Structure 1
Amino acid sequence: MFDLLIQVLLLDKETTGMVSIVYTQSEILQKEVYLVDRLETPNRETMTHLKAICFLRPTPENVTILCRELRKPKYGQYYIFFSNTLSSGDLERLAEADEHEVVREVQEMFGDYYAINNDLISLNVRFPSISSMDKWDDTALRRSVQGFTSLLLSLKKRPLIRYQSNSNMCKKLATEMSSVMQNESSLFDFRRTDSPPLMIILDRRDDCVTPLLNQWTYQAMVHERLGITNQRVSLAGAPGIKKDMQDMVLSSETDEFYHKNMFENFGDIGMSIKKLVDSFQEKTKSNKKIDTIADMRSFIDTYPQFRQMSSAVSKHVTVVGELSRLMDAHRLLEVSETEQDIACQGDHSSILTRVRQLIDADKVTDMDRARLILLYALRFDKSNTNYMTSLVEQLKHRHLDSHYISLVRHILTYGGYDARQSDLFGNKSFFAFTKKTLKGLKGVQNVYTQHEPLLIETLDLLVKGKLKDSDFPFLGPMLRDKPQDIIVMMVGGATYEEARFVSRFNSELPGTRIILAGTHVHNAESFMEQVMVAAEGETSIEP
């Protein structure tokens, strides 16, 4: 769409984020786009000598604003591209509004989602279950169907459908997606393949552990401790950060270092940066001693030409430096090791002692105290030696915000033992328990990354053709061959930890292609907020 000779790019609130993920400002300029503006911006200047490209979501609000603009056009020509299907009624409204005949083209270009990684997309729908724990909000369902439909059309896939059987939300989404593919059969009339693609719809509630854990691989850790919004990271509130480094972009498409290291462990990131700094130091004949992240930051400040030559490296030195500061300031190593043991080992006596100690530790944040309790509650939900009442009293003694206290009860309703279909902790069967125990006995290289999301076990069974039909039934035609083209739709949000494992699956299984699509990409904070919103919705509909 950008190959046309254009001068104005007109976006809406959501497509601004979608475009910013896949195009940099300089790349847009190279396409002869000299001005980027928002459709809803009031009092835009009239420039009838310019052409406008509009890339918009086909919402009723956007169509109304566009119709109003076409009656009093601000540009000489309009090329209109919608990110999803446009109804015939809305097309007629646009045609009637084009009194000055300035519209040259109207097309549907399916891209109604946020393409974060090569195999990870998000809809930025944060709370898809605000009606209740297991019932869609109508607006969120409609947006999810639109976004996932757009994904399938952009990939040119008409997949078979499987869904998590104990989830009403998964079943509802599966039904809606099937209905769309049937009603829009001409749009989904793609060339058949020997092995048809498969869409599997999963529920976040089946694995509440993954979004609660602190992370130690680069992309996931940045999102957990700093937050990533449309690939932008803000360090505005961090101490000692230069103004030009307070807002930065982390893109695997335009940042080679990030592309190579986004899934690497935190310790390895520091070593990778140090090698680049050492290389430049050798070129400048500097003998300044560099051993720590702080030394690297000092070196970059001393040699401004290094920043000019490698702004990407200085950016990552800044990010890693802030992560290191947070790690030391909040005892993250101790907190994370305890979290991993709760998730992967389950020695109750040892875990209880450490959780009590960390709750009372001064440097531990309230967020980390809360997540320790939530993980403990999920792990020992049905244990006869459960000390939840005592631990909650300990939290109250620390004067934690009341919403953290409420979360302990809500997390069990949302994703506790009775709400889960899966054997999340391997304690429902002797075989699963033995498998996890043997894995623990073998040990891992890094105690902070020993956890594997439930999604990985599900995908492993799926690609081997061993996933139970009773737990994940087909909606419509069934596939008996092992699937090779898989689209995972995670209702309730995916995580960067899961994205890392999906990327590993794709690299290690030639011929298999997996895409992870989440209604949102969570860190612990956004996930906790989702649980609270769902709980409030559940309470509001009680008789």
Structure 2
Amino acid sequence: MATSGPPTSYQNVLRDKQIAALKRMLNLNQPTPRGSVAASEPVWKVLIYDKFGSDIISPLLSVRELRDLGVTLHLQVDAGREQISDAVAVYFLMPTAANVARICQDCRAQLYDKYYLNFVTAIPRPLLEEVAKASLEADCVPQIGKVYDQYLNFISLEDDFFVLRNQMLGEVSYYALNRPDASDEEIQRICDSIVECLFSVFVTSGTVPIIRCPRGNAAEMVAQALDKKLRDNVRDPRNSMFTGDSTAIAQLSFSRPLLVILDRNVDLATPLHHTWTYQALVHDMLNLDLNRVTLLTADDEPPPSPTSSPQQRTYDLLHSDRFWEQHRGR
């Protein structure tokens, strides 16, 4: 997915808005001043995420930036973790049954002093009730600092480019939508996933789009479902994500973008066209994933020992890389 045009300022760059939302989350959902150093020392904390949360954070915040925000340790939610009784834990997870069960397990084990639960997208009420029940049983209700729906279910790779997901791509793909044996329930689940991601994009940007699509295909299903979700949210000003305090990060804009949703069956030739740019070449020939490329050592470099395998080197293709910024679009 790509935005409609080049960014002109901080408020117009979706990537910057997602970074600001993540920094606010890591500041325990308190506003952080932009362009200046915080007056007080950050609260030192542990960041717990799943693979979806890791994919969102890794292209946006480096390890050094996480440390500047007070993150001393970042761990996968399903990894073995030891008790740190005086630490503040910030969770950034998809609201799945497995993740909620692990949160409940952490509460019962009293792993941390405070729990700030941030879900990538809205958590269903039954799962939220499970968290509440576990915290009551573990007698740790005062330790639950906040529970937030962050609506950050997309991955910003560049200022003008984002993707909806990186994990489990096979479940949301052209093939999955066009399989001859695909059931109505499977197609509906795929469309709901796309709608949830696009809704997160516009909540983060603080804009309500004008939606256009062709009729009679999956694009129309997504457009109708997204339109209904946006209308239902805007209709109730008390719970709307586009009015009031909920736009503290995004800053609601009255300039409405145009969202064009197309079914790939309408244009089958475009994916076969190869873009002759350095960026496309790196993507095709090397292992490029989430703005990170992994290379094997050159053949003319001697290995550390005769029996050792080739070593890997990883490079982050960031805005600070002058060569990448200068040549990626050429």
Provide TM-score, normalisation by structure 1.
0.44
The residue correspondences of 1:221-370 to structure 2 (distance < 5 A) are 221-236=281-296, 239-240=299-300, 246-252=313-319, 254-264=320-330
The corresponding residue for 1:210 is: 270
- The amino acid that maps onto 2:197 is G
How has the CA–CA distance of structure 1 residues 71 and 184 changed in structure 2, closer, same or farther, with 3 Å as cutoff?
Answer: farther
The C-alpha deviation readout for 1:503-540, integer Å capped at 9, x for no partner, is: xxxxxxxxxxxxxxxxxxxxxxxxxxxxxxxxxxxxxx
The corresponding residue for 1:14 is: 52
Kept in 1: contact 2:287–2:295 (CA 8 A)? no
Within the alignment, does 1:100 sit opposite 2:140 as a pair? yes
The corresponding residue for 2:231 is: 182
- The amino acid that maps onto 1:69 is D
How has the CA–CA distance of structure 1 residues 70 and 246 changed in structure 2, closer, same or farther, with 3 Å as cutoff?
Answer: same
Kept in 2: contact 1:6–1:52 (CA 8 A)? no
The corresponding residue for 1:173 is: 222
Task: Measure, in 1, the Cα distance between the counterparts of 2:91 and 2:123.
Answer: 14
The corresponding residue for 1:342 is: none
Within the alignment, does 1:132 sit opposite 2:178 as a pair? yes
Kept in 1: contact 2:192–2:222 (CA 8 A)? no
Kept in 1: contact 2:177–2:190 (CA 8 A)? no
1:16 positional shift: 0.6
Kept in 1: contact 2:206–2:253 (CA 8 A)? no
The corresponding residue for 1:39 is: 77
- The amino acid that maps onto 1:10 is I
Runs of at least 5 residues in structure 1 that lack an aligned partner in the other structure: 265-543
Q: Is 254-263 or 145-154 further displaced after alignment?
A: 254-263
Within the alignment, does 1:23 sit opposite 2:47 as a pair? no
The C-alpha deviation readout for 1:226-284, integer Å capped at 9, x for no partner, is: 142111212238645787762222123x43432333212xxxxxxxxxxxxxxxxxxxx
- The amino acid that maps onto 2:316 is V
How has the CA–CA distance of structure 1 residues 238 and 97 changed in structure 2, closer, same or farther, with 3 Å as cutoff?
Answer: farther
Task: Measure, in 2, the Cα distance between the counterparts of 1:259 and 1:207.
Answer: 30
- The amino acid that maps onto 2:27 is D
Task: Measure, in 1, the Cα distance between the counterparts of 2:260 and 2:160.
Answer: 15
How has the CA–CA distance of structure 1 residues 81 and 247 changed in structure 2, closer, same or farther, with 3 Å as cutoff?
Answer: same
Task: Measure, in 1, the Cα distance between the counterparts of 2:228 and 2:293.
Answer: 39
Task: Measure, in 2, the Cα distance between the counterparts of 1:214 and 1:197.
Answer: 28
Count of paired positions:
260
The corresponding residue for 1:114 is: 155
The C-alpha deviation readout for 1:455-507, integer Å capped at 9, x for no partner, is: xxxxxxxxxxxxxxxxxxxxxxxxxxxxxxxxxxxxxxxxxxxxxxxxxxxxx
- The amino acid that maps onto 2:93 is L
- Counting aligned pairs with the same residue, the percent is 25
3-state SS in 2 of match to 1:251: coil
Task: Measure, in 2, the Cα distance between the counterparts of 1:86 and 1:250.
Answer: 33
Kept in 1: contact 2:207–2:253 (CA 8 A)? no
The CA RMSD measured in Å over matched residues stands at 2.6
Q: Which has the larger radius of gyration?
A: 1
1:104 positional shift: 0.9
Q: Say which of 125, 128, 136 aligns to 1:91.
A: 128
3-state SS in 2 of match to 1:142: helix
Q: Say which of 106, 129, 137 aligns to 1:69.
A: 106
Kept in 2: contact 1:214–1:224 (CA 8 A)? no
User: Which structure has the highest helix share of the two?
Assistant: 1
How has the CA–CA distance of structure 1 residues 208 and 10 changed in structure 2, closer, same or farther, with 3 Å as cutoff?
Answer: same
3-state SS in 2 of match to 1:48: coil
